[in-house]
Amino acid sequence: MTTVRVRREPPAFRRAEVVRREDRSPRLVRVTLGGPQLAGLELGLPAGSVRLLLPPPGTTDVVLPSWNGNEFRDADGGRPVIRTVTPLRLDTDLLELDVEIVRHGHGPLSAWAGAAGPGAAVAVSGTGRGYEVDATAPQFLLAGDESALPAIATLLPALPAGAHVDVVVEIAADSGRLALPSRPGLSVHWCELDEGARPGDALVRWVTSTRLPSPARVWAAGEAAAMQRIRRHLFDEVGLPRSQAVVRGDWKHGRAGDPGTE
């Protein structure tokens, strides 16, 4: 007899629309969403997540799906277009939510972010998972690719004031460098991906060739295979206790979709 695993139902979707968009770099776009149904939404912990429900291909409106005990499904049984991003800023007075999206390839989120103008329909569900900050830790390493930049931007102000923080970000080109929240004890390292290299190669090379301060806390997010290599390095080679690191594979190279969405 097959046992069907029933998952806890995520927060309901809230209808919203695009208020404005801003190109932060050639690959990263900030989209501000707004609408009365955002009332009561909370950001939750830093580096949390929200789901974006996009209009089905070839349409301009969102159709709210139902939860079948395991996943969201449309009325016809099809899979809705849902992608996961980091909530960057929430204005509870104006009822506006900022998210940032990496435009990469031809996935639905990239296409939507490149074309959606003011008034474009979307729906938001959240907030999900976040990072529990150890307020006593003296050292932190935050590592990720461009899809992790919004999460890193929310983490930096939340870390202990006296801690030293190393941030390392893999970018596709020098134009991907962005200003991050400043703080005492912050060192930022940008590593550019070599032409023809797999996403994550430069990030893995930096992390595995750098001596990790002890006792350090590590947060890393990016391409799934690269994160698996970093996970093996930290846990199997360095011997870092698993309680001291959060390593998230947020997207998969070669899978139809967008960075930060799988």
Its pTM stands at 0.90
pLDDT of residue 105: 65
CB 242 within 8 A of CB 217: no
Euclidean distance between CA atoms 212 and 247, whole angstroms: 15
What tens-digit pLDDT sequence spans the chain (262 residues)? 555 566 788 899 999 999 999 999 988 999 999 999 999 999 999 999 999 999 998 899 999 999 988 899 999 999 999 999 999 999 999 999 999 998 876 789 989 998 889 999 999 998 988 999 999 999 999 999 999 999 999 999 999 999 999 999 999 999 999 999 999 999 999 999 998 899 999 999 999 999 887 789 999 999 999 999 999 999 999 999 999 999 999 888 876 544 443 3
pLDDT of residue 218: 97
pLDDT of residue 7: 74
